[in-house]
């Protein structure tokens, strides 16, 4: 069973890394392919269901000056054959000059579909640097 859990964990991490790469590249097609809609966004005391991805990375870049995300640490904290939880323990969004904008932390819920692992819920906490 451990080999199977390790394999499932690797699959979830691979899907998350694809999501991160797509987010950095503003590749909305790939992001959408990695989401099972409706997407539940757990905000500050409220849950909102989205039928399209609620953030466009290009808009985030324009609004905040965000250029890159550094020092990301994430872990799959639970996985079964059909569901997984991944925690982004920490990361820092930075400007082009490397100066920090905000520290980010997040929770992602994933489901295994016939099309692979897809995100179906997310919650984030962003703290100004």
Residue indicated by tokens 């998350």 = 16
What is d(CA 109, CA 122) in angstroms, rounded to the nearest whole number? 6
Write down the pTM of the prediction. 0.93
Per-residue confidence (pLDDT) for residue 3, from 0 to 100: 85
- Domains annotated on the chain, with CATH: 2-128 (3.10.450.50)
Strand order in the sheet with 83-94: 47-50, 35-42, 116-128, 100-113, 83-94, 68-79
The pLDDT tens digits for 8-62 are 999 999 999 999 999 999 999 999 999 999 999 999 999 999 999 999 999 999 9
Q: Residue 115's closest CA among 1, 11, 4?
A: 11
For residue 17, the surrounding DSSP H or E stretch is helix 2-24
Cβ atoms within 10 Å, residue 109: 19
Residue 1 has pLDDT above 80, yes or no: no
């Amino acid at each position: 069973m451990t080999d199977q859990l390790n394999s499932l964990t690797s699959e979830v991490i691979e899907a998350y890394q694809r999501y991160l790469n797509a987010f950095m590249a503003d590749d909305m097609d790939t992001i959408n392919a990695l989401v099972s809609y409706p997407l539940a966004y757990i905000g500050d005391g409220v849950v909102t269901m989205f039928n399209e991805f609620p953030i466009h990375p290009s808009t985030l870049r324009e609004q905040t000056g965000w250029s890159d995300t550094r020092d990301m640490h994430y872990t799959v904290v639970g996985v079964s054959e059909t569901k997984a939880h991944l925690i982004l323990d920490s990361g820092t969004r930075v400007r082009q000059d490397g100066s920090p904008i905000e520290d980010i932390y997040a929770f992602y819920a994933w489901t295994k579909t016939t099309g692979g692992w897809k995100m179906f819920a997310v919650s984030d906490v962003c703290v100004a640097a």
